């Protein structure tokens, strides 16, 4: 009986405590009631939130560790490049007063510059931009240790804005070149260099886009296939590496798109796929040897599709081929669309042009071509790209940097010649060309070359090439008004 009363008392006591607690909770403000309930009912959600937070922290720490590891591995191979050049200062002189003030020419002045570079071989070869070292008299390289050493230029390639310089030593830390073809938009990359003179600066970003053509290299005539990145690139970064999270160089930082002159989140790097052949060629021979196709190419556009009756939406359209040149000898015809070269997809003419230029003369390319809906496989053996080879695309180009037109009766009368029946009229001269340096002028008439009549551009070009191959100079007989001159074109 006592046990029954004891049990009943405990039950009544527990019920009373429960009622009291319920009353206390109900008497609290609404917000506190919710907190009190939440403390009991949201424990699983809190556990999940904590789990997500821990996972995020772990991911962020892993990414941070990757950045740190790559930076520590690559910074010893990244250098600052200090350039010095002496140039003629130019004074601004009012027109008509040049004779009184020396034609506006001032004294000599020193120009200094700063860029970046990356050591790519243990024997001191450094890859950088051509615009970093072009026109310099003296080069100094500052290593990651802070030590400065002199450097020399091994070779440059203005058409890609790349250059190789070298420092003494055979045991330098160096960076491994990666595969820019494999990197994908959205992947993390690091840019390392000396922005504004701040050596060994590391910035992070992603690959924002690929295959950008900006028309900034070689005055728009160079080879471009830029990687775009939002990793901060500023003046002084030029020539420094863009690296992936495996510590491989996938690009050489070259330019930015900016209105202020500083980083605006749009930077461009020359891809390693374009740089590697240039590096190898310069180191092995001191110059760049490029393949030559001998074809005029353009993108596949709606207008081109209508003109040629194309059956594909992308690729590189062959608009014309030069007779007896690699494209024609390999079977390419106007209207063909190149879809693949050596198993690489070709989406536009820039990709074809860049790939051909990256191959050495004599390379055999396997091309997949669409010809009015029919797929063909062609083998094309490349020639060598040269000034003379490129001149063949311009009917009047002499190969010496001058455009020429055969003299006709009407032109002869306009120039004041009554009994002149043959010759080549100079209509245009490239700045800095052989023609300009030799003293040719627009309006001159070339009447003879190496003792034979200059009655066609082909005759003149072949005569000059023959003497050039023999290591000799060519002699041109030129009429300038009533004066007959002898001009020497040296090889």
Q: CA angle, 178 as apex, 174 and 179 as ends, to 5°?
A: 165
Assess if residue 46 is contained within a domain: no
Q: Within this chain, do residues 180 and 281 fall inside the same structural domain, yes or no?
A: yes
Of 236, 256, 285, which one is at a domain's C-terminal end? 285
Question: What's the pLDDT tens digit per position in 84-127?
Answer: 988 766 555 555 544 544 555 556 778 899 999 999 999 999 99
Asked whether residue 68 is assigned to any structural domain, the reply reads no
Catalytic residue among 82, 157, 161, 438: 161
**Band of pLDDT at residue 28, cut at 50, 70 and 90:** very low
Domain match, 337 and 372 both: yes
276 lies in some domain? yes
Listed residues 123, 144, 166: the one ending a domain: 166
266/182 same-domain check: yes
Query: Is the CB of residue 311 less than 8 Å from the CB of residue 304?
Result: no
The single residue of 80, 116, 238, 272 carrying the catalytic annotation is 238
This prediction's pTM: 0.68
**Catalytic residue of the set 80, 131, 349, 474:** 131
Residues 217 and 136 in one domain: no
CB half-sphere exposure, 483, CA atoms < 13 A: 7
E-state strands within 230-322: 241-243, 248-256, 267-271, 291-292, 295-299, 316-321
User: Which pLDDT band holds residue 53 (cuts at 50, 70, 90)?
Assistant: low
Q: Give Cα separations from 115 to 151, 162, 257, 365 (angstroms).
A: 13, 13, 18, 37
User: In Å, what is the CA distance from 244 to each residue of 160, 260, 350, 452?
Assistant: 22, 28, 25, 60
The question of whether 208 is a catalytic residue gets the answer: no
Residues 181 and 278 in one domain: yes
The verdict on whether 336 is a catalytic residue reads no
In a domain, 335, yes or no: yes
Please name the residue that has the structure tokens 């429960």: 18
| 151 and 86 both lie in a single domain | yes
**Are 472 and 412 in the same domain?**
yes
Q: Domains in the chain: how many in total?
A: 4
Taking the C-alpha atoms of 443, 446, 447 and 449 in order, what is their torsion angle to the nearest 10 degrees?
180
Find out whether 440 and 489 touch, Cβ atoms under 8 Å: no
Is there a single domain that holds both residue 438 and residue 461? Answer: yes
CB 333 within 8 A of CB 318: yes
Q: Which two tokens stand for residue 106?
A: 């001032």
365 in any annotated domain: yes
| Among candidate residues 229, 255, 285, the one where a domain is terminated | 285
- Model confidence at 489, pLDDT cuts 50, 70, 90, reads confident
Mean of pLDDT values over 375-383: 96
> Any idea what the CATH number is for the domain that residue 81 is in?
2.40.10.10
List the alpha helices (DSSP H) in 207-246: none
User: Which structural domain, as residue segments, surrounds residue 439?
Assistant: 396-489
Dump pLDDT digits (tens) for 168-227: 999 999 999 999 999 999 999 999 999 999 999 999 999 999 999 888 898 777 899 999
Using the structure block, give the residue that is written with the tokens 């990793």. 231
The counts of H helices and E strands in the chain are 12, 27
* Domain identity same for 407 and 376: no
Counting beta carbons within 10 angstroms of the beta carbon of residue 242, is it exposed (0 to 12), middle (13 to 18) or buried (19 or more)? buried
What is the CATH classification number for the domain harbouring 375? 2.30.42.10
Is the same domain home to 154 and 201? no
For the question of residue 161 being annotated catalytic, the response is: yes
């Amino acid at each position: 009986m006592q046990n029954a009363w004891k049990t009943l008392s405990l039950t009544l006591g527990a019920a009373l405590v429960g009622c009291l607690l319920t009353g206390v909770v109900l008497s609290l403000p609404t917000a506190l009631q919710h907190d009190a309930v939440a403390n009991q009912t949201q424990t699983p959600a809190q556990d999940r939130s904590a789990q997500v937070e821990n996972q995020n922290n772990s991911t962020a720490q892993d990414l941070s560790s990757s950045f740190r590891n790559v930076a520590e591995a690559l910074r010893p191979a990244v250098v600052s490049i200090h350039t010095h050049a002496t140039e003629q200062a130019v004074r601004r002189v009012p027109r008509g007063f040049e004779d009184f003030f020396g034609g506006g020419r001032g004294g000599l002045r020193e120009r200094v510059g700063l860029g970046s570079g990356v050591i790519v071989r243990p024997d001191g070869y450094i890859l950088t931009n051509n615009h970093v070292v072009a026109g310099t008299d003296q080069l100094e390289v500052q290593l990651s240790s802070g030590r400065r050493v002199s450097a020399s230029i091994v070779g440059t390639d203005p058409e890609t804005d790349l250059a190789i310089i070298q420092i003494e030593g055979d045991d330098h830390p160096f960076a491994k070149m990666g595969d820019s073809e494999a990197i994908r938009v959205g992947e993390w990359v690091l840019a390392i260099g000396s922005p504004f003179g701040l050596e060994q600066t590391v910035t992070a970003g992603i690959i924002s886009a690929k295959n950008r053509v900006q028309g900034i290299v070689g005055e728009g005539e160079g080879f471009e296939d830029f990687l775009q990145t939002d990793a901060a690139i500023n003046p002084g970064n030029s020539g420094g590496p863009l690296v992936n999270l495996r510590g491989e160089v996938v690009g050489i930082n070259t330019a930015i798109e900016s209105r202020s002159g500083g980083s605006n989140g749009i930077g461009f790097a020359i891809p390693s796929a374009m740089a590697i052949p240039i590096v190898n060629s310069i180191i092995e021979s001191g110059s760049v040897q490029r393949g030559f196709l001998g074809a005029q190419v353009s993108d596949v556009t709606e207008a081109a599709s209508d003109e040629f009756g194309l059956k594909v939406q992308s690729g590189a359209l062959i608009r014309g081929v030069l007779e007896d040149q690699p494209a024609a000898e390999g079977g390419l015809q106007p209207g063909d669309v190149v879809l693949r070269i050596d198993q690489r997809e070709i989406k536009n003419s820039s990709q074809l042009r860049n790939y051909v230029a990256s191959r050495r003369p004599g390379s055999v390319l396997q091309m997949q071509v669409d010809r009015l809906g029919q797929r063909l496989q062609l083998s094309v053996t490349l020639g060598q790209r040269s000034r003379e080879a490129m001149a063949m695309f311009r009917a009047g180009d002499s190969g010496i940097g001058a455009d020429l037109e055969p003299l006709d009766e009407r032109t002869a009368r306009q120039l004041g010649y009554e009994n002149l029946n043959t010759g080549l009229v100079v209509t245009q001269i490239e700045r800095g060309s052989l023609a300009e340096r030799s003293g040719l002028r627009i309006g001159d008439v070339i009447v003879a070359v190496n003792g034979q009549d200059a009655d066609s551009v082909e005759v003149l070009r072949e005569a000059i090439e023959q003497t050039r191959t023999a290591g000799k100079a060519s002699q041109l007989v030129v009429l300038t008004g009533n004066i007959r001159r002898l001009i020497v074109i040296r090889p």
